[in-house]
Structure 1
Protein backbone atom coordinates (compact mmCIF):
# COMPACT_ATOMS: atom_id res chain seq x y z
CA UNK A 1 0.00 0.00 0.00
CA UNK A 2 1.39 3.37 -0.92
CA UNK A 3 2.05 6.17 1.50
CA UNK A 4 -0.51 8.35 -0.26
CA UNK A 5 -3.27 5.77 0.26
CA UNK A 6 -2.38 5.50 3.94
CA UNK A 7 -2.44 9.28 4.29
CA UNK A 8 -5.82 9.51 2.59
CA UNK A 9 -7.20 6.77 4.83
CA UNK A 10 -5.86 8.53 7.91
CA UNK A 11 -7.39 11.84 6.85
CA UNK A 12 -10.73 10.16 6.11
CA UNK A 13 -10.72 8.58 9.55
CA UNK A 14 -9.91 11.88 11.24
CA UNK A 15 -12.54 13.85 9.32
CA UNK A 16 -15.04 11.02 9.69
CA UNK A 17 -14.51 10.85 13.43
CA UNK A 18 -15.14 14.57 13.67
CA UNK A 19 -18.32 14.28 11.59
CA UNK A 20 -19.60 11.28 13.56
CA UNK A 21 -18.91 13.09 16.82
CA UNK A 22 -20.78 16.12 15.53
CA UNK A 23 -23.75 13.99 14.50
CA UNK A 24 -23.84 12.25 17.88
CA UNK A 25 -23.65 15.61 19.69
CA UNK A 26 -26.41 17.07 17.49
CA UNK A 27 -28.62 14.05 18.13
CA UNK A 28 -27.85 14.31 21.85
CA UNK A 29 -28.87 17.97 21.94
CA UNK A 30 -32.08 17.28 19.96
CA UNK A 31 -33.27 13.82 21.03
CA UNK A 32 -36.47 14.12 19.05
CA UNK A 33 -34.43 13.75 15.85
CA UNK A 34 -32.77 10.39 16.49
CA UNK A 35 -31.10 8.42 19.20
CA UNK A 36 -27.45 9.49 19.59
CA UNK A 37 -26.01 6.00 19.62
CA UNK A 38 -27.84 5.01 16.43
CA UNK A 39 -26.64 8.14 14.64
CA UNK A 40 -23.05 7.58 15.78
CA UNK A 41 -23.04 3.93 14.72
CA UNK A 42 -24.49 4.81 11.34
CA UNK A 43 -21.73 7.36 10.85
CA UNK A 44 -19.08 4.79 11.76
CA UNK A 45 -20.58 2.30 9.30
CA UNK A 46 -20.50 4.87 6.49
CA UNK A 47 -16.91 5.77 7.37
CA UNK A 48 -15.87 2.12 7.30
CA UNK A 49 -17.56 1.68 3.92
CA UNK A 50 -15.57 4.61 2.54
CA UNK A 51 -12.17 3.68 4.01
CA UNK A 52 -12.23 -0.08 3.29
CA UNK A 53 -11.83 0.19 -0.52
CA UNK A 54 -8.92 2.60 -0.10
CA UNK A 55 -7.08 0.43 2.40
CA UNK A 56 -7.52 -2.80 0.43
CA UNK A 57 -5.95 -1.43 -2.76
Structure 2
Protein backbone atom coordinates (compact mmCIF):
# COMPACT_ATOMS: atom_id res chain seq x y z
CA UNK A 1 0.00 0.00 0.00
CA UNK A 2 1.18 3.47 -0.75
CA UNK A 3 1.64 6.09 1.92
CA UNK A 4 -1.27 8.11 0.55
CA UNK A 5 -3.60 5.12 0.83
CA UNK A 6 -2.55 4.53 4.42
CA UNK A 7 -3.08 8.21 5.30
CA UNK A 8 -6.56 8.19 3.77
CA UNK A 9 -7.38 5.00 5.67
CA UNK A 10 -6.17 6.61 8.90
CA UNK A 11 -8.34 9.66 8.20
CA UNK A 12 -11.41 7.49 7.62
CA UNK A 13 -10.80 5.51 10.82
CA UNK A 14 -10.37 8.75 12.74
CA UNK A 15 -13.62 10.14 11.31
CA UNK A 16 -15.48 6.93 12.20
CA UNK A 17 -14.20 7.03 15.79
CA UNK A 18 -15.17 10.69 16.16
CA UNK A 19 -18.63 10.00 14.71
CA UNK A 20 -19.13 7.09 17.10
CA UNK A 21 -17.98 9.15 20.08
CA UNK A 22 -20.30 12.00 19.12
CA UNK A 23 -23.28 9.67 18.78
CA UNK A 24 -22.49 8.01 22.11
CA UNK A 25 -22.23 11.43 23.81
CA UNK A 26 -25.58 12.61 22.43
CA UNK A 27 -27.31 9.41 23.49
CA UNK A 28 -25.62 9.58 26.90
CA UNK A 29 -26.96 13.12 27.42
CA UNK A 30 -30.48 11.97 26.43
CA UNK A 31 -30.86 8.41 27.77
CA UNK A 32 -34.33 7.98 26.34
CA UNK A 33 -32.78 7.93 22.86
CA UNK A 34 -31.16 4.53 23.33
CA UNK A 35 -28.04 2.84 24.55
CA UNK A 36 -24.76 4.74 23.95
CA UNK A 37 -22.87 1.70 22.78
CA UNK A 38 -25.58 0.75 20.30
CA UNK A 39 -25.57 4.22 18.81
CA UNK A 40 -21.79 4.25 18.56
CA UNK A 41 -21.67 0.88 16.81
CA UNK A 42 -24.50 1.95 14.52
CA UNK A 43 -22.59 5.07 13.51
CA UNK A 44 -19.48 3.01 12.79
CA UNK A 45 -21.54 0.56 10.73
CA UNK A 46 -23.02 3.37 8.64
CA UNK A 47 -19.59 4.93 8.13
CA UNK A 48 -18.14 1.54 7.15
CA UNK A 49 -20.95 0.96 4.68
CA UNK A 50 -20.40 4.34 3.06
CA UNK A 51 -16.66 3.72 2.76
CA UNK A 52 -17.32 0.28 1.30
CA UNK A 53 -19.63 1.74 -1.32
CA UNK A 54 -17.09 4.41 -2.22
CA UNK A 55 -14.26 1.86 -2.49
CA UNK A 56 -16.38 -0.51 -4.60
CA UNK A 57 -16.75 2.13 -7.31
Cα RMSD, aligned residues only: 2.2
With the length of structure 1 as denominator, give the TM-score of the two structures. 0.72
Listed as ranges, the gaps of 5+ residues in structure 2 are: none
Deviation at 1:18, TM superposition (A): 1.0
1:1-57 superposed matches below 5 A: 1-49=1-49, 50=51
Which is bigger in relative contact order (C-alpha 8 A, separation at least 6)? 1
Q: Contact (CA 8 Å) 2:24, 2:37: kept in 1 or not?
A: yes
Aligned structure 1 segments of 4 or more residues deviating by more than 3 angstroms: none
Please report the TM-score for the alignment, with normalisation by the length of structure 2. 0.72
